[in-house]
Amino acid sequence: MDATAPQSPAGLRTTPSWLLNQAATHAGRLISAGFAVHDLRGYHYRLLAALAESGPASQADLGRRCAIDRSDVVAAVNDLTGRGLVVRAPDPADRRRNVISLTEAGADEAHRMADTVARVQDDLLAPLSSAERDQLTRLLTRLLEHHSGH
């Protein structure tokens, strides 16, 4: 470590909240860089992954499922539609609603992005054994479940 680099106080550097925040910041940088290779962002991947996992959905359902604000869903779906990765069509049951579906190119991109996510996990968690990675995932899941009220 560079002796001239700014550092947080030692008492702070050993707190779980600070460590989680620093790890999350680093993870965010890694995943953003990985998605940039695809010329896409996290919102795009969340939508593509949700569609690949659960099939066609309304924009509103996608937003709720992915915890993305409605206006951000519209913008991301517009981007994905423009790239030919999804199609937007009126819902035959309710023509006021749009249904979003993956195209074949979108399914392929979702798969490539999932591979990128896996590579980022390997990079992020490189110093941990497989058992430690599993344990970290279980512990983080418990924390999130506790604090999200589930």
Q: What is the CATH classification number for the domain harbouring 125?
A: 1.10.10.10
Whether 53 maps to a domain, the answer reads yes
What rounded mean pLDDT belongs to the chain? 92
Q: Is-contact 136 125, C-beta < 8 A?
A: yes
**10 found inside a domain:** no
Q: Which residues contact 88 (CB under 8 A, 6 or more apart)?
A: 59, 77, 81, 98, 99, 100
Residues 6+ apart with CB under 8 A from 41: 32, 35, 76
Predicted pLDDT at 150: 58
Q: What would the two tokens of residue 97 be? A: 């609603």
3-49, pLDDT tens digit by residue?
Answer: 565 577 777 878 999 999 999 999 999 999 999 999 999 999 999 99
Please, what sign has the CA dihedral across residues 102, 107, 108, 111?
A: positive
Kindly report whether the global pTM for this prediction surpasses the value 0.95: no
| In a domain? residue 59 | yes
Classify residue 5: in a domain, yes or no.
Answer: no
Residue 88 lies in a domain: yes
- Is residue 14 a part of any domain in this protein? no
Range of the domain at 110: 28-148
Using left for φ > 0, alpha for ψ between -120 and 50, and beta otherwise, residue 39 falls in: left
Give how many domains the chain has, as a whole number: 1
* pLDDT beyond 80 at 60: yes
Is residue 46 assigned to a domain? yes
Phi, psi of 129 (to 5 degrees): -75, 170
Could you tell me the end-to-end alpha-carbon distance of the chain, in angstroms, rounded to an integer? Answer: 40
